[in-house]
Amino acid sequence: MSSEKCPFCSEGELVRRVEIETYVYKELSVTVDQPGMYCSNCNEAILNGDDLKETRRAIHDLHAQGDGFLTSAEVKQIREKIGFTQKEAGNFFGGGVNAFSRYERGTARQSKAIDILLRLFNARPELLASFHFDGFVSVIPEYSGTWRPFLSIKEHSYMQVVGTTSESSSDNLAYMPTANDSEPQFKMVVNG
Ligand SMILES: [Zn+2]
């Protein structure tokens, strides 16, 4: 079996294995299983892109926590709680359709402003009712079920979603059509 000489000490050999590594940031630390090529002599390591991918999210979260930002898992949890798909969240908060996919995989960090808004909507999801999405729809605050502010039913411009009758189906939305974005005219409940 051939092996590579270590470029750091020129004596040891690089062997592929997983080491338990502890990454430290500010007062925090995270311990991960870090794959890589490790030297048998000096313990230096060479990590390639795939090796780093394994632990990137844990390191991203360590830095996020150290800097007072939501972790990738917390972003996902709040986004789901307030009823947005990743794409809808990117449209609503800005950043583009792939923004939340990046935040939740730990390949990019949300801005401070988005971080604060997510915390705010997490604590007070009914505040989403204050927003009209480009003349589409918004949620009525009195509705006490699952919040699902909807950006994707563009064919229902000027309808106001008052809630869903089931957790996951967007066919069961209850809406309130409005005339030209004015006051709601009447209420309609759709049971898919
Ligand atoms: Zn070495």
CATH value at residue 31: 3.10.20.860
DSSP conformational letter for 102: H
> How many separate domains does the chain show?
3
Task: Quote the strand ranges of the chain, DSSP E.
Answer: 4-5, 13-25, 28-39, 45-46, 159-164, 173-177, 188-189
Same domain, 153 and 170: yes
Give the range of the structural domain holding residue 32, as residue numbers without chain letter: 4-66
Q: What is the C-alpha to C-alpha distance for residues 32 and 25, in angstroms, rounded to an integer?
A: 14
pLDDT at 105 over 50: yes
Q: Which residues of 48-69 are buried (b: 16+ CB within 10 A; e: fewer)?
A: eeebeeebbbbbbbbbbbeeeb
Average pLDDT value over all residues in the chain = 74
Q: What is the pLDDT of residues 83-101, one digit of tens each?
A: 888 988 898 898 888 999 9
Mark whether 57 and 98 lie in a shared domain. no
Least confident of 78-87, 98-107, 166-175: 166-175
Ligand 1 centroid to 4 CA: how many Å? 10
What CATH number is associated with residue 74? Answer: 1.10.260.40
Q: Which residues contact 123 (CB under 8 A, 6 or more apart)?
A: none
Cα gap 32→23, rounded to integer Å: 8
Considering the domain architecture, whether residues 156 and 179 belong to the same structural domain is answered as yes
150 plus 108 within the same structural domain: no
Q: How far is the CA of 14 from the centre of ligand 1 (A)?
A: 7
Q: What's the CA-to-centroid distance between 38 and ligand 1, angstroms?
A: 8
Q: Are both 113 and 162 inside the same structural domain?
A: no
Residue 146 is predicted with a pLDDT of: 42
CA of 5 relative to ligand 1 center, distance in Å:
8
- For residue 59, the CA-to-ligand 1 centroid distance in Å is 25
- Contact predicate 83/126, CB 8 Å: no
The pTM score is 0.64
Q: Are 116 and 140 members of one domain?
A: no
Same domain for 146 and 191, yes or no, is: yes
Report the pLDDT value the prediction gives residue 131, as an integer from 0 to 100.
62
Q: Give residue-wise pLDDT tens across range 16-65.
A: 999 999 999 999 999 999 999 999 999 899 999 889 888 999 999 999 99
